[in-house]
């Protein structure tokens, strides 16, 4: 038994041991029926005499907390019911930017019958057997490796695989030294904020947009300015010239889905160069495209080294892998690596190595092709059902795992969501992603939705939309 005793406190040692034992009982560290160590052993552990421990045991026994059983030892009695410790009220408060409540985890254990939540891929499509084999092999291989720290930028073989994949799938021209492996998009943004954003700095974000990015930049002390979206993407003319950074999702705007036009991309790059501003390009969901070939990423058009390209495997594989990356301009490489080293040192090497093999041996590309086919079928089902609802129009979108439908003015999306939840339908409303006034809308995810549940789920939603007053 590990017993923490302050033997330097005032008073005799037997009393100090008694107080420690009583505290262990009251806090629930000692349970009814637990056997206490012999007095000789505890005395040896604490460096005191056996009589000192025996005195403490006798006092606990006299008060009914312990009982001595002849030939069997000393045990905790049933009287040892834990009580909640009294805690002093804390005067500590988080600094500005940390007063928000953490968002509920969208991928919880309780799965609704009609699961149209956003940002969740279908775990049933992931090749778990293959992944288990790769990961087990890497764990065994590294069992005898020296216990040294690794490169904060990530395993070179994974960075090489990411470079090859980006070149083939997105036309991104990057060097291995440009790539920094991260624990998903969120850590990539956190690292960027540590390097580029200080208290009071202005950061521009799309609105509607990615709430976690807004909260992260605010936690860094930034003044976050929401910038509206039109049919061509973020309104560059409304970005403050004082901004140090703009966060954007140009290939598939989150959550509307519209792609940023080529003219708007060039306008944004010119604006960033004139104002010496950084652009963080989040190319989430870029693997799953269902119509025309996508426009080039901002990174491909950037000639001034202003774009930090961010990607993730959370949507293409699994969120629980916590795998993502960023492609940095040469001028930021060292600073971003240092920031990664300060946060958690480096990532999980067996996972990085297994992912590198998964990509290098073509398994990642095959998985994406298979998954894209399934998601494409689900997307068509969602669009077909939404197009049957009068007054609601899907926003044209060519990629991703969700569709946004805009509703008539005055539609009460809060009531719609509540009624939907009562029918086992989980989804998001557009206003939950916006700080500016926005048109009523619903964001329908189909990544985690079973294909056979889409039509009945949206049929039930259509009845709710037709009967809910706007």
DSSP line for 128-158: HHHHHHHHHHHHHHTTTS------TT--HHH
According to the model, what pLDDT value does residue 357 have?
Answer: 95
According to the model, what pLDDT value does residue 269 have?
Answer: 97
257 closest CA partner among 213, 209, 293, 296: 209
Sign of the four-CA dihedral 144, 146, 148, 150: negative
According to the model, what pLDDT value does residue 101 have?
Answer: 66
Lowest mean pLDDT among 29-38, 98-107, 232-241, 243-252: 98-107
According to the model, what pLDDT value does residue 88 have?
Answer: 64
d(CA 361, CA 366): 10
Q: Among 113-127, 202-216, 343-357, which range has the highest average pLDDT?
A: 202-216
Name the helix (H) or strand (E) containing 286.
none
Class of domain 127-363: alpha beta
According to the model, what pLDDT value does residue 458 have?
Answer: 93
Q: Tell whether pTM > 0.75.
A: yes
Check: CB of residue 428 under 8 Å from CB of residue 356. Answer: no
Class of domain 365-467: alpha beta
User: In this predicted model, what pLDDT tens digit does every residue of 144-199 receive, in sequence order?
Assistant: 666 667 889 999 999 999 999 999 888 899 999 999 999 999 999 999 999 999 99
According to the model, what pLDDT value does residue 192 have?
Answer: 97
Q: Work out whether strand 202-207 and strand 243-248 pair parallel, antiparallel, or are unpaired.
A: parallel
Q: Considering the chain, what is the average pLDDT of its residues?
A: 89
Residue 109 has pLDDT above 60, yes or no: no
Identify the band that residue 284 occupies on the pLDDT scale cut at 50, 70 and 90: confident
According to the model, what pLDDT value does residue 103 have?
Answer: 63
According to the model, what pLDDT value does residue 398 have?
Answer: 82
According to the model, what pLDDT value does residue 408 have?
Answer: 92
Residue 137 has pLDDT above 70, yes or no: yes
Block residue for tokens 């390009």: 281
According to the model, what pLDDT value does residue 286 have?
Answer: 81
Count how many residues are written for the chain.
470
SS (H, E, C) 399-450: ECCEEEEECCCCCCHHHHHHHHHHCCEECEEHHHHCCCCCCCEEEEECCCCC
Q: Quote the DSSP letter at residue 15.
A: H
Check: CB of residue 448 under 8 Å from CB of residue 110. Answer: no
**3-class SS at 21?**
helix
Identify the band that residue 82 occupies on the pLDDT scale cut at 50, 70 and 90: low
58-70 average pLDDT score: 91
Identify the band that residue 85 occupies on the pLDDT scale cut at 50, 70 and 90: low
110, HSE (Cβ side, Cα atoms, 13 Å): 6
Crossing angle for the helix pair 13-26 and 50-62, nearest 10 degrees? 50
Residues forming CATH 3.90.1150.10 domain(s) in the chain: 365-467
| Rama region for 47: left / alpha / beta (φ>0; ψ in -120 to 50; rest) | left
Q: What is the CA radius of gyration of the chain?
A: 29
Name the helix (H) or strand (E) containing 260.
none
Q: Among 22-26, 304-308, 341-345, 464-468, which range has the highest average pLDDT?
A: 304-308
According to the model, what pLDDT value does residue 159 have?
Answer: 96
Lowest mean pLDDT among 33-47, 135-149, 229-243, 259-273: 135-149
According to the model, what pLDDT value does residue 223 have?
Answer: 96
The order of strands in the sheet holding 441-445 is 393-394, 402-406, 441-445, 428-429
Check: CB of residue 273 under 8 Å from CB of residue 242. Answer: no
Sign of the four-CA dihedral 285, 188, 244, 177: negative
Residues forming CATH 3.40.640.10 domain(s) in the chain: 127-363
Lowest mean pLDDT among 14-28, 268-282, 326-340, 406-420: 14-28
Residues forming CATH 1.10.10.10 domain(s) in the chain: 13-76
**3-class SS at 112?**
coil
Identify the band that residue 45 occupies on the pLDDT scale cut at 50, 70 and 90: confident
According to the model, what pLDDT value does residue 3 have?
Answer: 73
389-408 average pLDDT score: 90
Q: Which CATH architecture has domain 13-76?
A: Orthogonal Bundle (1.10)
Residue 294 has pLDDT above 80, yes or no: no
The alpha carbon of residue 414 and the mean position of all alpha carbons in its chain are separated, in whole angstroms, by 25
d(CA 285, CA 145): 36
Which ranges in 260-412 belong to alpha helices (H)? 262-274, 298-301, 333-344, 349-360, 363-386
d(CA 45, CA 34): 18
According to the model, what pLDDT value does residue 434 have?
Answer: 95
d(CA 287, CA 284): 8
Identify the band that residue 140 occupies on the pLDDT scale cut at 50, 70 and 90: confident
Q: Work out whether strand 278-282 and strand 307-312 pair parallel, antiparallel, or are unpaired.
A: parallel
According to the model, what pLDDT value does residue 112 have?
Answer: 86
Residue 442 has pLDDT above 90, yes or no: yes
Identify the band that residue 469 occupies on the pLDDT scale cut at 50, 70 and 90: low
Which ranges in 197-305 belong to alpha helices (H)? 211-219, 262-274, 298-301
According to the model, what pLDDT value does residue 147 have?
Answer: 64
Lowest mean pLDDT among 84-88, 223-227, 324-328: 84-88
61 closest CA partner among 95, 21, 23: 21
> Residue 76 forms beta bridges with which residues?
66
According to the model, what pLDDT value does residue 256 have?
Answer: 94
Residue 426 has pLDDT above 60, yes or no: yes
Q: Work out whether strand 223-230 and strand 233-234 pair parallel, antiparallel, or are unpaired.
A: antiparallel
């Amino acid at each position: 038994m590990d017993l923490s005793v302050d033997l330097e406190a005032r008073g005799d040692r037997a009393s100090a041991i008694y107080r420690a034992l009583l505290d262990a009982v009251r806090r629930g560290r000692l349970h009814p029926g637990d056997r206490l160590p012999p007095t000789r052993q505890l005395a040896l552990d604490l460096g005191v005499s056996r009589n000192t421990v025996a005195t403490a045991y006798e006092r606990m026994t006299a008060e009914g907390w312990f009982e001595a059983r002849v030939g069997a030892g000393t045990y905790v009695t049933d009287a040892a019911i834990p009580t909640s410790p009294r805690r002093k009220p804390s005067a500590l408060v988080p600094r500005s930017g940390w007063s928000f409540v953490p968002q509920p985890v969208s991928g919880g254990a309780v799965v609704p019958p009609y699961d149209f939540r956003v940002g969740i891929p279908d775990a049933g499509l992931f090749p778990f057997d293959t992944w288990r084999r790769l990961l087990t092999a890497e764990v065994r291989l590294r069992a005898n490796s020296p216990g040294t720290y690794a490169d904060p930028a990530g395993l070179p073989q994974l960075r090489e695989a990411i470079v090859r994949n980006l070149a083939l799938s997105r036309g991104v021209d990057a060097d291995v030294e440009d790539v920094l492996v991260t624990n998903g998009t969120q850590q990539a943004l956190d690292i960027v904020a540590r390097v580029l954003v200080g208290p009071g700095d202005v950061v521009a974000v799309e609105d509607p947009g990615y709430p976690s990015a807004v909260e992260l930049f605010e936690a860094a002390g930034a003044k976050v300015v929401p910038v509206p979206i039109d049919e061509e993407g973020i309104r560059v003319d409304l970005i403050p010239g004082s901004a140090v950074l703009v966060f954007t999702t140009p290939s598939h705007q989150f959550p509307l889905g519209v792609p940023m036009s080529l003219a708007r991309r060039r306008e944004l790059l010119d604006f960033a160069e004139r104002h010496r501003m950084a652009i963080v390009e989040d190319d989430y969901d870029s693997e799953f495209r269902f119509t025309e070939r996508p426009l080039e990423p901002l990174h491909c058009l950037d000639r001034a080294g202003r774009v930090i390209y961010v990607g993730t495997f959370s949507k293409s594989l699994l969120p629980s892998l916590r795998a993502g990356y960023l492609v940095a301009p040469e001028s930021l490489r060292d600073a971003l690596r240092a920031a990664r080293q300060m946060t958690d040192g480096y990532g999980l090497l067996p996972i990085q190595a297994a992912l590198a093999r998964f990509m290098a041996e073509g398994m990642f590309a095959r998985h994406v092709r298979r998954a894209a086919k399934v998601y494409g079928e689900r997307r068509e089902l969602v669009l077909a059902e939404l197009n049957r609802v009068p007054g609601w129009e899907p926003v044209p979108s060519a990629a991703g795992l969700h569709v946004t439908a805009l509703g008539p003015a005055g539609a009460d999306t809060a009531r719609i969501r509540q009624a939907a939840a009562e029918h086992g339908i989980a989804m998001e409303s557009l206003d939950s992603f916006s700080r500016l006034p926005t048109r009523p809308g619903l964001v329908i995810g189909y990544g985690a939705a079973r294909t056979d549940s889409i039509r009945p789920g949206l049929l039930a939603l259509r009845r709710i939309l037709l009967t809910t007053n706007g």
